[in-house]
Structure 1
Amino acid sequence: MQDIILEARHINKQFHDPVTVQVLTDITFSIAKGEFVSVTGKSGCGKSTLLYILSTMDTDYDGDLLIEGVSMTGKNDAALARIRNEKIGFVFQFHYLLNEFTVLRNVMLPGMKLNKYSEQEVEHRALERLKMLGIEHLAHKMAYRVSGGEKQRIAIARALVNDPFIIMGDEPTGNLDVKNSEMVFNIFQQLAEEHNQTLLIVTHDQGFAEKTERIIEMEDGKILRN
Structure 2
Amino acid sequence: MQDTILEARHIVKEFHDPVTVQVLTDITFKITKGEFVSVIGKSGCGKSTLLYILSTMDTDYKGELLIDQELMTGRSDVELARIRNEKIGFVFQFHYLLNEFSVIRNVMLPGLKLGRYSEQEVEHRALEKLKMLGIDHLATKEAYRISGGEKQRVAIARALINDPHIVMGDEPTGNLDTKNSEMVFEIFHELADVHNQTLLIVTHDQGFAERSGRIIEMEDGRIIRH
Cα distance in 1 for partners of 2:59, 2:43 equals: 22
What letter matches 2:165 in structure 1? F
Is structure 2 residue 151 aligned with structure 1 residue 151? Answer: yes
1:42-78: CA deviations, max 9, x gaps?
Answer: 0000000000000000000000000111101111011
1:6-40: CA deviations, max 9, x gaps?
Answer: 00000000000000000000000000000000000
Please list, as runs of the form range in 1=range in 2, the aligned pairs for 1:9-158 lying within 5 A after superposition. Answer: 9-158=9-158
Cα distance in 2 for partners of 1:72, 1:98 equals: 30
Cα distance in 2 for partners of 1:4, 1:73 equals: 17
Q: How many residues are paired up?
A: 226
Shift of 1:168: 0.0
TM-score normalised by the chain length of structure 2:
1.00
Cα distance in 2 for partners of 1:73, 1:137 equals: 42
Alignment gaps of 5+ in structure 2 = none
Name the residue aligned to 1:185. Answer: 185
Shift of 1:161: 0.3
TM-score normalised by the chain length of structure 1:
1.00
Cα distance in 2 for partners of 1:29, 1:70 equals: 15
Identity, in percent, stands at: 81
Cα distance in 2 for partners of 1:115, 1:19 equals: 44
Name the residue aligned to 1:161. Answer: 161
Shift of 1:4: 0.3
- Secondary structure (helix, strand or coil) at the match of 1:120 reads helix
Shift of 1:129: 0.1
Alignment gaps of 5+ in structure 1 = none
Taking only aligned residues, the RMSD between alpha carbons, in angstroms, comes to 0.3
Moved over 6 A (4+): none
